[in-house]
Amino acid sequence: MHQNHTLTILKLVTAISISLSMLLSLAARAEEDVTETVAASVNVNYQEFKENFSVKRLFASRCSWCHQGYGLKEADGPRLSGTALTRDEVIHRISRGKSPMPGFRKQLKPWQIEALADYIKALPDVEL
Ligand code: HEC
């Protein structure tokens, strides 16, 4: 009698843990499906967005009121063409700022900041 009880409990526990793991794997699969669907739809838009992205337009809207002439001219901010900073230092400067320049890490995506750094490092070392 006592053994029968133990057996029943064991069977129950096994049954519960099997259905639990089935549920969990179902949930995991559902989550995977959703993530994939979302990723796929986001990727399409993201890709389009990146293709239409213009670093010059971004520079003009966010930076040019202090760095004029597309970065070739000194204004409130210094001329950026021919900067002595490395690409990494430029990325850091754009992200963190340096008073009075604001940091942009909260407004821009990392790839946008990298694009701006590439743009600045690619400017010819001339002054307008
Ligand atoms: C409010 C004005 C202002 C805005 C807006 C601004 N900057 Fe600046 N920036 C400055 C000033 C001033 C400095 C010089 C800071 C210092 O070194 O004391 C500077 C320095 C820099 C430097 C370092 C240059 C060097 O050789 O030392 C980089 C790179 C730079 N800015 C990029 C950008 C980019 C890219 C943007 C737009 C996303 C931007 N800045 C927006 C004012 C501004």
Helices 110-122 and 87-96, interaxial angle, to 10°? Answer: 130
| Residue 82 near ligand 1, beta carbon < 6 Å | no
CATH 3.40.50.300 describes domain 33-122: no
Taking the C-alpha atoms of residue 128 and residue 126, their distance in angstroms, rounded to an integer, is 7
Give residue 26 CA to ligand 1 midpoint distance, Å: 51
The per-residue pLDDT for range 87-126, each reduced to its tens digit, is 999 999 999 999 999 999 999 999 999 999 999 999 999 9
What per-residue confidence (pLDDT) applies to 119? 96
pTM of this prediction exceeds 0.85 = no
Which residue's CA is the nearest one to ligand 1's atom 22?
93
Q: How far apart are CA 117 and CA 92, in angstroms?
A: 9
Burial 70-108 (b: 16+ CB within 10 A, else e): bbbbeeebebbbebeeeeeebbbbbeeeeeebebbeeeb
pLDDT in tens, 7-66: 787 787 777 777 777 666 666 666 556 655 655 665 656 666 666 789 999 999 999 999
Q: Which atom of ligand 1 sits closest to the CA of residue 90? A: 29
